[in-house]
Amino acid sequence: MLTRRSFTQLLAAAPLAAAPRRPNIVMIYADDLGYGDLGCYGHPTIRTPNLDRMAAEGMKFTEWYSAAPVCTPSRAALLTGRYPVRSGLTRVLFPSSNGGMPDSEVIIPQILKGAGYRTAMVGKWHLGHLPRYLPVKHGFDSYFGLPYSNDMTPTRGPGGGGGPKNPPLPLIQDDKVIETEPDQSRLTERYTEHALKTIRGSKDKPFFLYFAHTFPHVPLYAGARFRGKSPRGLYGDAVEEVDWSVGQILATLKQTGQDRNTLVVFSSDNGPWLPRGEYGGSAGLHREGKGSTWEGGMKEPCLARFPGFIPAGKVSTAHGNMMDWLPTFAKLAGAPLHTGVALDGQDMSPVLAGRSEGSERVFFYWNADDLRAVRKGPWKLHTVTNTTEFPPAKVTRLDQPALYNVLNDPSEKYDVAAAHPDIVAELLALMKEHQAAIQQAPKQR
């Protein structure tokens, strides 16, 4: 089991070749975007020229994972560098929820702030809407966005779902509600304006910008310049506006002279919401989507661009996940990590720099408080299966575990457990060991 101390030792290893001065870091996070929804990941009709350019000028990962198949736990994992079960944030929070990010968790902005970074968040938080849980209480200098998903509102837009009525959707600046029921067709534009303001106002010190888009979560909206323009329909309109926003970020970094000292990362919180039909996305080759621990629920597109540090046009098959960004950002920033807390992420800066092809990883697939699968190398073992529905439909606990070689069979069609009993036994033992190691994790409040 990796501990915070072991990661501190890892980060203190030999310095990276050609590592620049402390870089700015921009983490752009889409909501419910599928692995197959970008042009550079093979979508035939959604046009994403700016994200495609990120891939051409940087690194595209093909084996990158979220740590959960739904919103709140996936975001908790990204910011803490830990499986959600460790923080207790294992289920989606709602406007009626009283919990949020625990004060005991040390998250990315707090670590970078300790190294002299300005920190800002724009977009969807979804880690607690009460005042004590908002981003400005957890290391962000500023915040502009929605505290939870855009469908958690009394009104319903195109593609929206049913369910109980909620209070008016709040738009928050720092710790104050400045509007209710904002015009969602302007959210991406307004988010982008605030993100660009952060970039332009941060020339005197390094900055960390966490830009968590509302879309393409349903209900779908797109600005006037994008509505009705994509061959993919409203879903494509929303994704293409997110792509435009990425282009604005890249252009502003160049205009302000910060382009070559800024790491920009783009990914998504979980797989596509398939039951939404035309209003949901595509997982590409991968099975199922949001709400499931099949590959389509947790494998994500991931792009990283850092001119002069990340080799251009590199396609990486290194196995990584969202929990890796905390130790990676800390390494690049020269920021010390807190001791005594177990991290589950791994520093990926040698992979980003092109000095490593990555190492064999063990990755665990959690859904809520249920450990459902494990992957080691090419092998993935399921002990539980469910279809893509949210809230999850009936879960089937398998009488016999199912084994897949996800490199040869990314769609998880062919169970080869009978041919590899030794691998099944090894992976079951890893699951048992992992579960025992975190059985004292706090329960979500």
The domain limits of the chain are 4-9+21-352, 362-437
Measured between alpha carbons, how far is 364 from 162 in angstroms, rounded to an integer? 32
Q: pLDDT digits over 189-216, tens only?
A: 999 999 999 999 988 899 999 999 999 9
Candidates 281, 276, 328; CA nearest to 304 is 328
* pLDDT number for residue 390: 54
State whether residue 205 is helix, strand or coil: coil
The DSSP 8-state label assigned to residue 243 in this structure reads: H
Candidates 198, 220, 218, 219; CA nearest to 209 is 198
At a CB cut-off of 8 Å and minimum separation 6, what does 306 contact? 23, 58, 262, 263, 264, 352
Residue 126 designated active-site: yes
What are 264's strand-pairing partners?
26, 305
* pLDDT number for residue 3: 41
Catalytic member of 40, 43, 126, 434: 126
* pLDDT number for residue 157: 42
* pLDDT number for residue 154: 85
Measured between alpha carbons, how far is 161 from 141 in angstroms, rounded to an integer? 34
* pLDDT number for residue 392: 54
Q: List the chain residues with pLDDT less than 50.
A: 1-19, 157-160, 443-445
CATH class of segment(s) 362-437:
alpha beta
Decide yes or no: CATH 3.40.50.720 for domain 4-9+21-352: no
* pLDDT number for residue 21: 77
Do the beta carbons of residue 148 and residue 217 sit within 8 Å? Answer: no
What are 171's strand-pairing partners?
179
* pLDDT number for residue 4: 40
Residue 40 designated active-site: no
* pLDDT number for residue 164: 59
Catalytic member of 40, 43, 71, 319: 71
Type of residue found at 215: F
Contacts by 134-141 with C-beta closer than 8 Å and gap 24+?
134/172, 134/174, 134/175, 135/109, 136/174, 136/175, 137/175, 138/101, 138/105, 138/107, 138/109, 138/110, 139/107, 139/108, 139/109, 139/110, 139/111, 139/112, 139/113, 140/109, 140/210, 141/113
Its pTM stands at 0.92
Candidates 427, 381, 373, 440; CA nearest to 405 is 381
Candidates 381, 376, 383; CA nearest to 319 is 376
Measured between alpha carbons, how far is 187 from 171 in angstroms, rounded to an integer? 10
* pLDDT number for residue 121: 98
* pLDDT number for residue 393: 53
* pLDDT number for residue 231: 97
* pLDDT number for residue 340: 83
* pLDDT number for residue 165: 78
Do the beta carbons of residue 327 and residue 7 sit within 8 Å? Answer: yes
Greatest C-alpha distance within the chain: 61
